[in-house]
Every structure is written in structure tokens, then in C-alpha cells.
Structure 1
């Protein structure tokens, strides 16, 4: 009994992200389903999660469009910086520019750096996320005036999180890019897009930016299902190589762009550690997910009518075959807040 009590206290402490005494005005998010807080609810795509059991552990049990049973990492990071506990999606008409002034999400589940990736499931491409940001900037200036809006945009923390879909939904599935590029050349191609994107938002006023690397994508439950229960080593190798190139880009841009504070946030090793030894973090398993059989379900295949869905998501590292549980997201956010993002406090 005492052991279980200690374990519960340990997990509780992990999930409590202490507030950082940071001079960050807002959290501005670009990316894919790792950070999408509901934008896909408002576009014509099959890739949605605005239904149960998604969001069943979110405040009020709401299916918000987040690909999790609860919050995503950027929600926890916002809270860690003393801002609101959730970052609202830009396309949700329930929110106004007043709500977006302290945090806004432009991310779209299923997207990537590559425009071809976004076309696979008809989601928002990165260039469109940038257009929405420009529109937001103009709206913010109209709401607060140029001087105040500029101050918010300069002090905001910009989080970029994408890339997994470029490989797992595009390069390794569709023929076009794999014929055109070797894996290494495709990595360079994506890093080049990331470079252009960061430079663009820098010229629009961004100064504090976090570029998030790839997770051990070969260990996602779906990939393990397709590989007899084992992680796909070559996918993990590509993720590590891509992260090295992304980290090098961060170093280059910090030298090239005056006044920028650009960091590389690497989720690979902390998540890999959780996957290899889930019990040490208070989980039961990482091999299968909570939803359904935990082997292939995601999106509409993960629904409330599936009798196999687990009753306690906190025992699982992954919620569906592609996405972490809220508990895992909290641990990843805690790690980022204490490492790469600590510079912004």
C-alpha cells in the first residue's frame, strides 16, 4: 500500500509543472497534431478528434479536437509560463482576438513542413499557418494598437512542432518524395523549409522561438504493430539524424539573425526513455495505446463505441496509435520547461 502511495505522489509531482518566472507574453504555436488544439475541427478533413473518447479527461470532458485524452504539451507549457492552462485554436469562432492575445494555436493535425504532406489528408499546410499568423498580427494591431501588439509579439514564445508526418504519412508511404530524395536529402529539404519559416516569422517580429525535434517515431504503437511489436530502427535513426540537422540550423540562425533567441527542444531521448522503461514513470505499457486494441486505432477508428478502450489512460504512454496520453504530454512539457525553454524565464 505504501509503495502505491509513493508511486502516486511521484506521478503527481511530475505532472505539476511549476510556474516559471518568465517574461513571456504569449504562446504562439505552429505545427501538427502534437500541438493542434482543435483547428482541424473547422476544415474539411477526415483527420479529426472532436468526439469521444478524445478529450474524456479534459476539463469538463470536452472533445476539443486535441489528439489526446486531455491536454497537449503546449497547454502545459503555457501554464508553466504563468499563462492560461490551454492554448485556443485560431479557427474556433468561440474565441476572439482578446483570447488570442495571450496565446494562439495555428497547428493542424496531419500537416508537415512539406506541402505534399498536408495534401495527403487535406489539412492546413505550413504556408497557410503562416498566412493565419499574418492575419492574427493585423488583428492584434487593430485590437491593441501597433505599439502594444509589437511588444506582445516580441515577447511571445513561438513553438514549432512538426515533421513526423513528413516521414510516416508521406516519405515512407507515398512514392513521390522517396523517388525524388534519399532519406538524408529529404531531411535537408525539410530543414531548408524550417529555415525559411523561422526567418519569415523573425521578420514578422518573432524573437523567442523553440524548434521541436522529432520523437522516436519508430516506436509509435502503429509502427510497432507493423513491425511485429518492435520499434522500427531505421525510423528512429532518421529521427535522430533529422534532429542533429535541426540543432545545427538553430546554431546557424542564432548567429545570422540579430536579437533572436532560438532553441532546439528535443523530445526524442526523454520519450524514448519513457518507452523503454514505462514503469519508472508510473505507466504500465508503451507497446500498445489506450484506445481500442491500442495497435492501429487513430481518429475515427478511435471512438466511444470501441469496447476495448482502456478505463485509465494514466497507465498508458500512448492514447491512440500515434499520440501520447495527457500524462505523457505533461512529462514532456515539464522536461522542455526545465531544459531548452528555461532560457526564456
Structure 2
């Protein structure tokens, strides 16, 4: 057991009590309880991108209505949902801050930088080809931005304090879905070269290399988000599920294989004596599958279509209030567009993450 992972019984008890307090407050930011981590720092794709794609020459953007229709001031910030996204809710639940901002295109205050940012870019992935196809930020470039960000922390508080902030941060890594849904099953570039198991191996190798690099930059606590049931996402039902828009099994099989191999890889990393970072796998397949299969238990009446337009294919540029309408009651929908959940669904998913994984990282 690494010394960086050990905690006294008292510290564990205090952490769990604070987590319980966060849950009782419904993940509303509570500055008086004190943060459980120094900062939240995020790498990944559109699930955790609060607007880094806004300034890019790409079609993968959410900085236009109806995105953000239930956000503060109904502002479309670039978050791919009607409101908050998971990393906002995680930052709130940990008592860090109310919103986790994008790194790019934002005039940050020193406090914003000290408590964390997201480098995530919608539609990126672990396959190096994935960000190239849609002209978004690669994970390698996200690491370069982190180096730049770290330099800004040093300018604000000095090297010693910066090291403490990085070591005390929760890092979140969320990617892989776009590799499967877009690069492998939508474009011809990879499916002619790889079968599903070998492509999954490519992704897992990329994920392992990325985790090692994040660890080498000082991260000591990483939450790694697994892949959802890709074949049941509305757009994937539409393009691969036939006339009845059923869940497409090959995409789900790829996600399940990926999740199994990712967990094996993470287990191996955590057992390496020289690997000084704790990586915790966060399963979202199970909870999202339950939301879609038994949505009424959670208050949802529509689980197979998004709220935007027809709900079957509209996402990013196609989900635009100038061209399509939006449903009357977003709260009844698991998905906002054909790919991304609603804030209400995200809250349930983050509740599950806190219930099952956050206390392990703490």
C-alpha cells in the first residue's frame, strides 16, 4: 500500500461524513463545509467538456440554443446538455465550487485556476485518429494545456503550493465512447484494419499510456469513467438498431469488452509498486442502462429519444433552435440530444458515482 493512499481512521470518518453532508444537500455547493479535495481537474470528451470546443474550427459545439436552456441565465456555454454536466456536479459534491470551467476561452480568476478546470474536448478519444477526424483537441494536447495551466498555478502561489494543489486534486478522465461510436462504427478508417477486440486493445493501450502520463505530472487520485451502453444511445439506435430502433448489440459488446479490459489494466497499474497514483474505475454502464431500461423508476417517460428535434439523430450542429424545436418537459427525458443525457439524468449518474466510487478515492 502506497503511503499516499493511507489515511487515518479519523480522516476516513470525517471524509465519509462530509460526503454524506454533500449528498444531503443534493450536491449544492457549500463553501462552509470545506472542500474534500484541493481542485478538480478533468480530461476527456463531450460528457465533461464545459466549452473548450467553442473556439475551434469544428462542427462539434454546443454553444448555441437549445443547449443550456436550463443553465444559469439560459446560457449556452458549450456544455452538451440542457444544464449542468457531471463535472460541475462532482465539483459541487466535493465542496470545491459550483461550476467547473473550461480551460480555453474563459477569463479565469486566480481562484478559478486554483480550484481546477476542465481540458476536455467534445468528440475526442484515446484513438489518435478520433480527434483528427472531427478537428477537436487530442488528449495529448490536453496534457500540454495542463502543463501550461500548472505554470499559471506556479505564477499565482509558487512551486511548493502548486505541488500540494496537484497532489490533493481529484483528476477525472472520461473518454472512449467517441472512439467506438464515431471512429470505429461510423467511419471506414478503423473497421477495415481492426476487429472489435483488437480495436479495444488499441483504446486500452492508449488509456494506459495516458494514465501513466497524468500520474507522472503529479496526480495522486484519478477517477476513470468507463464506457456507457453505446448501442442504446438514441443516435446509435437510429443508425444501427433497425426500424424498431433497438439497442445495437455490437456497440454494446465493444463497450463491455472495453470496460472489462480497462478494469484489468487499472488493477495492474494500482499493483505496481512504482506507480504512486490511485486510479479508481467508475462504472456508468450499469446505471445508464438502468435509466434506459427502467426509466419510470427514476421519473422518466422517454428513454430512447432525445429532447431536441425528433430526438433520434440531432446532436451538436443539428441540435440548433434555429432549425428544430425542443420538447416541452426536459425532466421526462434521459437524453437531451441524441447522444448526451439531460442534467436530471446526470444528477442520478453522479449520485451513483458518489455512492460507489468517490469515497474509495478519498
Q: 1:342 to 1:320 in 2, by over 3 A?
A: same
* 2:115 is the alignment partner of 1:102: yes
Among 9, 12, 17, the alignment partner of 2:27 is: 17
Q: CA deviation at 1:182?
A: 1.6
2:3 maps to none
Written as runs of structure 1 = structure 2, the 5 A alignment for 1:309-320 is 309-320=326-337
| Aligned-partner Cα distance in 2 for 1:107–1:170 | 18
Shift of 1:344: 3.1
Residue of structure 1 equivalent to 2:104: 91
Q: Distance in 2 between matches of 1:16 and 1:176?
A: 44
Counterparts of 2:54 and 2:39 in 1: how far apart (Å)? 23
16 and 38 in structure 1: CA distance in 2 versus 1, 3 angstrom threshold: same
Whether 2:361 is the aligned partner of 1:344: answer yes
Shift of 1:340: 1.3
Match of residue 302 from structure 1: 319
Is the aligned partner of 1:45 residue 2:58? Answer: yes
Q: Distance in 2 between matches of 1:159 and 1:125?
A: 16
Q: Deviations over 1:69-116 (max 9, x none)?
A: 001111101100011121100002322443121020000001011121
User: Given the alignment of the two structures, is residue 232 of structure 1 paired with residue 232 of structure 2, yes or no?
Assistant: no
Q: Is the deviation greater in 96-105 or in 75-84?
A: 96-105
The equivalent of 2:194 in structure 1 is: 181
Q: TM-score normalised to the size of structure 2?
A: 0.88
User: How has the CA–CA distance of structure 1 residues 14 and 63 changed in structure 2, closer, same or farther, with 3 Å as cutoff?
Assistant: farther
Gaps spanning 5+ residues in structure 2: where?
A: 1-22
Counterpart residue number, 1:62: 75
Question: Offset of 1:138 from its aligned partner?
Answer: 1.4
The answer on 1:196 being equivalent to 2:181 is no
Report the CA distance between 1:141 and its aligned residue: 1.2
1:132-173 CA-partner distances (Å, limit 9, x unpaired): 011111111121101110000001000000101101110112
Aligned length: 333
220-229 or 64-73, which deviates more: 220-229
* Contact kept in structure 1, 2:114 and 2:153, CA below 8 Å: yes
Confirm or deny: 8 A CA contact 1:79 1:85 kept in the other structure.
yes
> Which whole-Å deviations, capped at 9, do the CAs of 1:49-87 have from their partners, x for residues lacking one?
101110010111110000100011111011000111211
Q: Distance in 2 between matches of 1:129 and 1:258?
A: 22
Question: Structure 1 residues 76, 199: closer, same or farther in 2, change over 3 A?
Answer: same
- 1:255 maps to which residue? 271
TM-score using structure 1 length: 0.93
Query: Is the Cα contact below 8 Å between 2:36 and 2:96 reproduced in 1?
Result: no
